[in-house]
Each structure stands twice: as C-alpha cells, then as structure tokens.
C-alpha cells in the first residue's frame, strides 16, 4: 500500500502532525462507501453515541480535568482567533509551548501521560499563562493554575509500584480522596462475599462506579447510570442508541442495543453480563460496536472500567485469515505446550474477524489498540467465548507510517536480518496480532476455585504475556505454513527478531530516563525478552556490542521457539493456579527494571532519528445528508479535520458534564 492515496479530491496522508513524543496518524475507513444506506445510518448514530461519552473519561482520569480543559480551551481559542500577526520573540515560544501542552492534554484526556501515567507540565511559563488569561478576559481560579504548574500535585494517575498504597498514590478519580487501598479491597471483598449470583458466574464488581465515603464515614458506590454518576452524558449516549435501534441489522443486534440501554439506565452489572452475552451471540451483523466501561488498566486495583467506544464493520476479505485460525482453535489448544490440567477440553466461541474502525472515542482515542478481545468477564468468556478483532485499517496506517522511519537501519544487527524483516514483517505482525487476540487470550483455563483476580496488580501483565507467548510459540511451529497463513518456513523468524529486539531494546524509547517500566503490555514484552535472553544457555539469542552499539543477535530461531514454549507453560501455570508470588517474582525480576546505561544509549540513538514513540489517530468526520423531513439520505466521510479542530469541535458539540 502506498503512503498517499487520493479520495474524493481530498489529499489523504496517513501521517499528520507531530508534537512532544506523539505522532498523529489518520486512518482510512476502507469500503465505507460500499455499505448500504441503512448500515451507514447505523454507523452514524453509533458514532454520535461514541462521541457523546467523551467527557466521562476526562473526569475518570482526574477530578479537575474537565475544569482544566475548559480553561485551557478558552485560552487556546482566544489565541487562535487573535492570530499571529505582530507576534514575535519570546511570545512566539510561549504560545507554541502552550499549544503543545493543550494538544498533549487532549491526547491524554488530562495532564498525565496517557501511557506512563506521570504528570506533565506546560513548557510555557506560569507568568505568561496568567498574563494571557487576564489579557483575554478569561476568568480563572488561581488554585487551578497552581495545579497545572505543580508537578507534585497528583504526580501519578495510576501508580503500580509494589508495596505502596496504590490508591493514595494514584490521582485518578475512581476513588474519592483519602480512600486507602486496604479499605477499597475490603469493601470489594465484602461485596464479593455478599453476591447472590451463582459463585461460578460473578459480575465484574466495581466496574461502573466511583467509590465514595458517606457522611457517616462508610464507603459506598456512586454508580454510573441515568440519574446517577455521569447521568447527563449517559442520557445522551442512550438517546443516540435509541436513534440507532431502527437501523439494527438483525433482531439479535437490536437486543444488544436494548440491553445496553437497560444497563445504562439501571447500572446493573448483571444486565451488563446479559448484554455481553447478547453481544457475543450477534456474530452475523457486519456493523458492530463497543460503548461502555471496559478496560481496567486505569485503576491500579483493576476494578474500574474506563469509558470507551469504537464503531466498526467487518472487512470480509481480511477476515478469511482469522477464520482459519478460529476453525483450528481446538488443534492449537490440544498442542499447546502447557500442563494438560490447564487446557480447555472444548475450545469454542472464538469468533475472529478483521474490522475497519469507523470511529474511536474515550479511552480508545486518539491512542488506540490494534486488536480487541472482549468481553473481559472471565465466566462469560469461559461459558460463551469471546469476540476477537484485528483492526485492519489501523494496522495499515501503522505499517505505512513506519516505512522509511530509519528504525530498522539503526537497531537491526545486519542487512540479512533487515531484509528478512522487510519481506516478512507485515505478514508476521498481522499474524501475531491474530494469534494473540483470537486464540491466545481465549486459551487455557483457571483451576476450579481459583479467583480471576488472584494475580492482583500483576494480572494484566501475566495475561498479556500468556497471549503473546501463545502467539510466538505457534508462529514457529510449522502449522501456520501448513494452513497457508505464513508463506514459508523462514517467515516466522522476522517476528522473533523484532519481538525480542522490541522487548529488550527499542521499546525503551517510550520511557523517560530514570523511570521503570509500568504499563502492562510493555512489562510483558520486557519480561519475555529478558527471561528468554537469560535462559538462552545455548546462545539461542544474545545481546552483543558492535562499535559501541548494542544489538540483538539471534543464532538459533528454532531454539527460541522451545524457550517461548517453556515460558508459556510457566505463565499458564501461574495464571491457572493463581500463583500470586510467582507472578510477582516473574514480573519484578524481568519486566520492570531498566539498565540505565543501555537506556541512555537507546534514547540517544533514537533521538538522532527524530521520531516519536507514541502514535494516535485523528478520527474521520461523518456528515449526515438529510432530506426536507430530516431523514438521512446519505452519510459522507471526510479526512480533512486537524487534531486541534477536531478536539475543539468535540468540546463544542459533545460537552455533557
């Protein structure tokens, strides 16, 4: 695929602007124009429902974030409409630094880094900001400006450091100020003990609420629902879901939307499980969507779901690939190198598809995942399976943007390896994602009586490692060539090389000097790479130094496959038995610490490439063409909006809280 395409006379480029450590990309919604009017109308209403929830995530990320956003946007708009005529010198630099802060704030839904979770400060001076606010007659609270410039006030949004009180040291807004980790854990332990649902089917307690303290000092939940927490945003989401109902593609999809409306109306987590099951059972509809409190990465205790939405439709051709995997799910389960007790005897319900994302919102915007595997409820997954998607148009955009970035030239050890990665990289990356999402997360089982959250703060890292190891082990097994998913017996090597290089070296570019690895996916990659390198006693892979630069050298790819299998067996055991101590040991030994000299070297080599480690996506904008009666006669899509224009429009049109 080429980097530039012409569409509807708009010049389309995958790559858009860069600021701080971020590069914004655009994604094309391939095939939207070939959908029926009914499908386009459905997508239109669902995309409105997606944008209607936007304010929720701002508030979840921090109690002051919405007030901050309003203040910063007022100044940003005043400066923008004032123009740059006559502006020079230090004033230019202050304005540029402020604009960069604004964009980072939008990107992260608050003043904390979207990935590293640490607070970032504006590059402009406090004097300049206050002066500018006064100049444009924007009234403001001094404490709010104090807060912006105070690195110590809410230093970390989501602290995962072992041994500290994870709530008192995290600034997210899922728990009211002053509630300790112990209090929250006790609260949810009592709630779990009081459940009246069958013990094998527990709801995801705490998922859609904020834990607060009443006047009498006791803790209670403020539940997200119409009439409750975030009621105004949720009411608007529901209105758009009601608009979408008549355009549902099937009765089962109509039922999905109705149950979601019920869930938003009552806040009942039992309804949420019903909704999840109905959503799983609707495999026929081409258009699909997620809208709700979903992933728990933003809560150090793993209870609270951050709000997100994605609307998408199935890419029929690309889906063929993942269907082959799903059809062979039982074979993969039976041949997995894990203890037989941890294997699923019947592997079912894995519906695999490639989708085209049509819009992303909340915690999926602008930084997003390239694959999704839902629902997260363990018992629903066990009894009803899971839906896996690879987001084809995001993968394409990433691949196009990374061509010619210079990373391979700088970090890959030699020409032969580079050539191999150029040839097999894209097919290997796609297949790894498919294996991870379609089979990896869905494989294996917990032993009876093991609680799904036994691994506590390390659960996410271990789960991601399990899915990645499953993918890595099978990449090199020969089965994928037999199934026609890899072109030949050499192809998997490219994935092995790039995976280990990333885990041991290149992912360090996303972390600032002196910090440790915090995010679950990054911990998982570091864990796998460092464990494999340490256990490569036959020099299957090693870290070497050539001309004062550090490289990964792989001597025995088949040997690596055996090592991935060994670690998969151990990680599966940890998860199946709920062995918290072993999980902690593995994560703390291999997944957290960074060698400082190596980190400095990698950052230096990376800086010379002038690239940005984090990517995000600008949404397309949809326009409903209406007739005199207000009925929709067509929906058009355009790709021209700049990131700041998009964020300002969203604030203008979708502010609810």
CB nearer to Zn ion: pick between 59 and 464:
464
> What is the smallest separation between the CB atom of 498 and Zn ion, expressed in angstroms?
17
Distance of CA 454 to CAs 40, 191, 300, 302, Å?
A: 43, 16, 14, 11
DSSP 8-state secondary structure symbol assigned to residue 260: H
CB nearer to Zn ion: pick between 467 and 648:
467
Find all residues with CB under 8 Å of 410, minimum gap 6, and list them. Answer: 605, 606, 608, 609
> What is the smallest separation between the CB atom of 464 and Zn ion, expressed in angstroms?
5
Contact between residue 625 and residue 638 where contact means Cβ atoms under 8 Å apart: no
Q: Which residue has the tokens 């995530």?
A: 57
H-type helices in 491-642, by residue range? Answer: 492-504, 520-535, 557-577, 580-590, 596-607
CB nearer to Zn ion: pick between 248 and 467:
467
- The neighbouring-strand residues paired with 622 are 637
> What is the smallest separation between the CB atom of 467 and Zn ion, expressed in angstroms?
5
**Binding piece for Zn ion, criterion CB under 5 A, among 396-404, 462-470, 544-552, 627-635:** 462-470
H-type helices in 435-488, by residue range? Answer: 459-475, 479-482
> What is the smallest separation between the CB atom of 418 and Zn ion, expressed in angstroms?
28
Task: Report which of 521, 520, 511, 527 is spatially closest to residue 602, judged by C-alpha positions.
Answer: 511
Binding-site string for Zn ion from residue 422 to residue 461, where x marks contact by CB under 5 A and - marks none: ----------------------------------------
Distance in angstroms (rounded) separating the CA atoms of residues 637 and 47: 12
Distance in angstroms (rounded) separating the CA atoms of residues 281 and 213: 39
> What is the smallest separation between the CB atom of 436 and Zn ion, expressed in angstroms?
6
Residue 562: what are its φ and ψ, rounded to 5°?
Answer: -65, -40
DSSP 476-492: TSSHHHHTTSSSSTTTH
Distance in angstroms (rounded) separating the CA atoms of residues 657 and 650: 13
Distance in angstroms (rounded) separating the CA atoms of residues 236 and 226: 9
CB nearer to Zn ion: pick between 464 and 518:
464
CB nearer to Zn ion: pick between 238 and 369:
369
CB nearer to Zn ion: pick between 170 and 461:
461
Distance in angstroms (rounded) separating the CA atoms of residues 508 and 518: 12
What is the spatial order of strands in the sheet that 22-26 belongs to?
A: 15-19, 22-26, 614-618
- Please give the residues from 514 up to 543 whose contact with Zn ion meets the rule CB under 5 A: none
**Binding piece for Zn ion, criterion CB under 5 A, among 148-156, 463-471, 473-481, 621-629:** 463-471
CB nearer to Zn ion: pick between 467 and 485:
467
CB nearer to Zn ion: pick between 440 and 476:
440
> What is the smallest separation between the CB atom of 468 and Zn ion, expressed in angstroms?
8
Tell me whether strands 541-546 and 614-618 are parallel, antiparallel or unpaired.
Answer: unpaired
Number of residues near Zn ion (by CB under 5 A): 2
CB nearer to Zn ion: pick between 471 and 582:
471
CB nearer to Zn ion: pick between 280 and 467:
467
Distance in angstroms (rounded) separating the CA atoms of residues 549 and 454: 41
> What is the smallest separation between the CB atom of 372 and Zn ion, expressed in angstroms?
9
Distance in angstroms (rounded) separating the CA atoms of residues 575 and 445: 8
CB nearer to Zn ion: pick between 295 and 464:
464
> What is the smallest separation between the CB atom of 294 and Zn ion, expressed in angstroms?
13
> What is the smallest separation between the CB atom of 268 and Zn ion, expressed in angstroms?
28
Binding-site string for Zn ion from residue 464 to residue 503, where x marks contact by CB under 5 A and - marks none: x--x------------------------------------
> What is the smallest separation between the CB atom of 567 and Zn ion, expressed in angstroms?
16
Contact between residue 326 and residue 229 where contact means Cβ atoms under 8 Å apart: no
- Please give the residues from 290 up to 319 whose contact with Zn ion meets the rule CB under 5 A: none
Task: Report which of 492, 447, 459 is spatially closest to residue 338, judged by C-alpha positions.
Answer: 447
- For residue 595, the tally of other CB atoms under 10 A from its CB is 14
Contact between residue 198 and residue 295 where contact means Cβ atoms under 8 Å apart: no
CB nearer to Zn ion: pick between 94 and 434:
434
Distance in angstroms (rounded) separating the CA atoms of residues 592 and 517: 5
Half-sphere exposure of residue 154: CA atoms within 13 angstroms, side-chain side: 24
Q: How far apart are the first and last CA of the chain?
A: 42
**HEC readout, 102-124:** HHHHHHHCCCECCCCCEECCCCC
> What is the smallest separation between the CB atom of 519 and Zn ion, expressed in angstroms?
12
CB nearer to Zn ion: pick between 471 and 647:
471
> What is the smallest separation between the CB atom of 115 and Zn ion, expressed in angstroms?
15
> What is the smallest separation between the CB atom of 286 and Zn ion, expressed in angstroms?
24
CB nearer to Zn ion: pick between 437 and 579:
437
> What is the smallest separation between the CB atom of 252 and Zn ion, expressed in angstroms?
26
Distance in angstroms (rounded) separating the CA atoms of residues 258 and 606: 50
CB nearer to Zn ion: pick between 467 and 587:
467
> What is the smallest separation between the CB atom of 375 and Zn ion, expressed in angstroms?
13
Question: What is the chain's length?
Answer: 657
DSSP 323-336: HHHHHTHHHHHHHS
Q: Tell me which residues touch Zn ion (CB under 5 A).
A: 464, 467
């Amino acid at each position: 695929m080429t980097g530039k395409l012409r569409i509807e006379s708009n010049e389309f480029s995958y790559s858009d602007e860069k600021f701080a450590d971020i590069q914004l990309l655009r994604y094309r919604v391939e095939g939207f124009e070939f959908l029926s009017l009914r499908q386009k109308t459905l997508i239109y209403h669902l995309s409105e429902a997606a944008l209607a929830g936007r304010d929720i995530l701002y508030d979840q990320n921090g109690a002051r974030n919405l007030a901050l956003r309003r203040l910063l946007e007022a100044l940003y708009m005043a400066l923008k409409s004032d123009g740059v005529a006559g502006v020079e010198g230090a004033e230019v630099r202050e304005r540029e630094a402020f604009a960069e802060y604004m964009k980072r704030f939008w990107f992260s839904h608050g003043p904390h880094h979207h990935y590293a979770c640490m607070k970032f400060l504006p590059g402009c001076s406090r004097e300049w900001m206050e002066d500018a606010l006064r100049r444009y007659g924007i009234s403001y609270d001094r404490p709010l400006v104090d807060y912006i410039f105070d690195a110590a006030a809410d230093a970390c949004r989501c602290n995962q450091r072992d041994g500290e009180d994870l709530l008192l040291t995290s600034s997210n807004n899922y728990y009211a100020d002053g509630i300790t980790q112990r209090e929250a854990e006790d609260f949810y332990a009592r709630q779990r003990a009081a459940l009246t649902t069958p013990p094998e089917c527990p709801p995801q307690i705490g998922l859609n609420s904020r834990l607060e303290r009443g006047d009498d000092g006791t803790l209670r939940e403020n539940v997200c629902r119409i009439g409750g927490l975030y009621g105004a945003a949720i009411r608007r989401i529901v209105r758009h879901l009601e608009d979408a109902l008549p355009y549902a593609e099937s009765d089962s999809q109509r039922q999905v939307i109705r149950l979601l409306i019920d869930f938003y109306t009552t806040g009942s987590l039992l309804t949420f499980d019903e909704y999840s099951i109905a959503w799983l059972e609707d495999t026929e509809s081409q258009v699909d969507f997620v809208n709700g409190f979903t992933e728990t990465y933003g809560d150090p205790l793993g209870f609270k779901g951050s709000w997100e939405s994605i609307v998408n439709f199935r890419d029929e051709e690309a889906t063929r690939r993942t269907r082959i995997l799903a059809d062979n799910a039982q074979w993969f389960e039976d041949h997995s190198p894990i203890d037989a007790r941890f294997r699923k005897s019947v592997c079912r319900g894995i519906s695999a598809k490639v989708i085209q994302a049509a819009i992303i919102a909340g915690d999926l915007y602008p930084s997003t995942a390239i694959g999704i595997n839902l629902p997260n409820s363990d018992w629903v997954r066990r009894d009803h399976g899971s839906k896996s998607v690879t987001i084809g148009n995001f993968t394409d955009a990433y691949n196009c943007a990374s061509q010619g970035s210079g990373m391979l030239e700088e970090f890959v050890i030699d020409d032969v390896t580079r050539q191999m990665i150029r040839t097999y990289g894209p097919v290997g990356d796609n297949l790894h994602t498919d294996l991870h999402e379609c089979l990896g997360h869905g494989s294996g089982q917990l032993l009876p009586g093991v609680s799904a959250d036994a691994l506590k703060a390390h659960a996410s890292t271990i789960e991601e490692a399990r899915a990645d190891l499953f993918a890595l082990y099978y990449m090199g097994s020969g089965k994928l060539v037999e199934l026609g998913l890899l072109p030949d017996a050499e192809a998997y090597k490219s994935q092995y090389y790039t995976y280990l290089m990333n885990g041991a070296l290149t992912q360090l570019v996303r972390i600032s000097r002196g910090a440790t690895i915090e995010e679950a996916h990054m911990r998982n990659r570091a864990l796998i790479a460092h464990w494999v390198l340490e256990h490569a006693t036959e020099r299957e892979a090693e870290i070497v130094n050539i001309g004062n630069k550090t490289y990964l050298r792989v001597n025995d790819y088949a040997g690596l496959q055996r090592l991935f299998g060994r670690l998969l067996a151990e990680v599966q055991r940890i998860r199946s038995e709920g062995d918290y101590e072993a999980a902690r040991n593995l994560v703390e030994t291999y997944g957290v610490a960074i060698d400082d000299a190596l980190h400095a070297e990698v950052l230096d080599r990376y800086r010379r490439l002038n690239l940005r480690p984090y990517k995000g996506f600008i949404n397309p904008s949809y326009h409903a063409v209406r007739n005199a009666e207000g009925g929709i006669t067509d929906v058009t899509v355009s790709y021209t909006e700049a990131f700041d224009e998009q964020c300002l429009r969203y604030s203008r049109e979708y502010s609810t809280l």
